[in-house]
Amino acid sequence: MSHNSFGKMFRVTTWGESHGPALGAIVDGCPPGIPLSEALIQPWLDRRRPGSSRHVSPRQEPDQVRILSGVFEDDRTGGPVTTGAPISLMIENRDARSKDYDAIRDKWRPGHADYTYDAKYGLRDYRGGGRSSARETAARVAAGAVARQVLGDAVRIRGALVQIGDLAIDRDAWSDAEIDRNPLFSPDPGIVGTWEGHLDQLRRDGSSTGAIVEVCASGLPAGWGEPVYGKLDAELAGAMMSIPAAKGVEIGAGFAAAAMRGEDAADEMRAGADGPEFLSNHNGGVLGGISTGQDIVMRIAIKPTSSIRVERRTLDRDFNETTIETRGRHDPCVGIRAVPVAEAMMALTLADQYLRHRGQIG
């Protein structure tokens, strides 16, 4: 993981700015013979797409993906499969309104990367946040769809929103089926109305809110991951923290583990039909950096976006004190669209660790 690349064996490099002509991803190291087509990728992009409900940015982007390389007809089935060559995925930007951003050309939005990009690079593409825009995550989701194909049906990855502001779901009401039935990825049908009301109020206030995403992978075998610096949970933590606006990451019991005693935290084992059966999952499916075969369960804290209409104090590029109200089209809760992005990062990390495991162990 460095610069704009993620992964070692299954390696993704993304490119593109929020208001440039297009953005994309190169997936390198993908095994050959894996079924892949634009139709298999598109549904995942549609889940992340702006403009899909009143609770996300109204920017109208069809986010149609094109596969430019790395896929060819299979001799046997005639269907398109990966060839082992790099897969180039491209998504055009259609609804960029750069003039909305003239106001921030010479000011730094507090809580944004505006100042740090200027500090590092000496210049920045200010249109829509340029490279620092969360629009880059479309490329992650597209690449994540390829990773899902590599992992196959046995591995299931699903994310959900478990908290908006201080409004947490009722975990006893959890329903996987519910997640895709509401525009907020809530697994708890009872809280959807409350959340929608809260978001409507925030939008009227010109404000925004934080949230907590939970993402779970099930069905992977025991043994994936690498000690010591390539630990599965360490790489997942890095992957999740690379999501725009992420401020915290935990696995299994997470921060609650700090208050536990050893006899409560250890996940006891009994003999199951296909290997160990664990009596709890406080470790979130990873021990010593290697998967146990249990569900991998992570939570990611997402801060409220700083692109708000409420006036805030800031500086201009000449270090003069000023104030700013951010216009443009923004999500009042970026945590919503972070759900499919967190799923994608889970898929990318697992696909990479899978291939690395296969390389070392056979």
Name the strand (E) or helix (H) holding 241.
helix 232-241
Which region among 30-38, 42-50, 53-61, 174-182 touches a second copy (by CB under 8 A)? 30-38
Q: At 178, which amino acid appears? A: E
The torsion angles phi and psi of 310, rounded to 5 degrees, stand at -65, 135
* Residue among 148 and 299 whose Cβ is closer to a second copy: 299
Query: Would you tell me the crossing angle of helices 137-151 and 38-48 to the nearest 10 degrees?
Result: 130
Work out whether 152 is an interface residue with a second copy (CB under 8 A).
Answer: no
Work out whether 148 is an interface residue with a second copy (CB under 8 A).
Answer: no
The Cα–Cα gap between 345 and 215 comes to 10
Closest C-alpha to 17, from 103, 113, 133: 133
Work out whether 62 is an interface residue with a second copy (CB under 8 A).
Answer: no
Token pair for 79? 């269907």
Work out whether 197 is an interface residue with a second copy (CB under 8 A).
Answer: no
Least spacing, CB of residue 51 vs a second copy, in Å: 21
* Residue among 120 and 181 whose Cβ is closer to a second copy: 120
Cβ atoms 285, 279 nearer than 8 A: no
The torsion angles phi and psi of 81, rounded to 5 degrees, stand at -135, 160
Is residue 297 reached through a cis peptide bond, with omega within 30 degrees of 0 on the bond before it? no
Which region among 52-60, 72-80, 170-178, 184-192 touches a second copy (by CB under 8 A)? 72-80
Q: Is 92 exposed, middle or buried (0-12, 13-18, 19+ CB in 10 A)?
A: middle
The Cα–Cα gap between 320 and 55 comes to 35
Work out whether 136 is an interface residue with a second copy (CB under 8 A).
Answer: yes
Work out whether 17 is an interface residue with a second copy (CB under 8 A).
Answer: yes
Cβ atoms 106, 310 nearer than 8 A: no
Least spacing, CB of residue 354 vs a second copy, in Å: 9
Per-residue CA distances from 294 to 33, 36, 230, 276, 277 (Å): 28, 28, 19, 10, 9
Chain CA centroid to CA 213, Å: 9
Cβ atoms 38, 67 nearer than 8 A: yes
Which region among 43-51, 94-102, 119-127, 180-188 touches a second copy (by CB under 8 A)? 119-127
Chain CA centroid to CA 15, Å: 16
Which region among 51-59, 84-92, 181-189, 336-344 touches a second copy (by CB under 8 A)? 84-92
Show contacts with a second copy in window 278-317 (CB under 8 A). Answer: 279, 282-284, 286-293, 301-308, 310, 312-315
Work out whether 39 is an interface residue with a second copy (CB under 8 A).
Answer: no
* Residue among 50 and 285 whose Cβ is closer to a second copy: 285
Among 53, 68, 152, 197, binds a second copy (CB under 8 A): 68
* Residue among 61 and 235 whose Cβ is closer to a second copy: 235
Among 95, 100, 226, 295, binds a second copy (CB under 8 A): 226
* Residue among 181 and 348 whose Cβ is closer to a second copy: 348
* Residue among 89 and 157 whose Cβ is closer to a second copy: 89
Among 38, 46, 183, 257, binds a second copy (CB under 8 A): 257
* Residue among 181 and 288 whose Cβ is closer to a second copy: 288
Work out whether 122 is an interface residue with a second copy (CB under 8 A).
Answer: yes
Chain CA centroid to CA 304, Å: 16
Least spacing, CB of residue 286 vs a second copy, in Å: 8
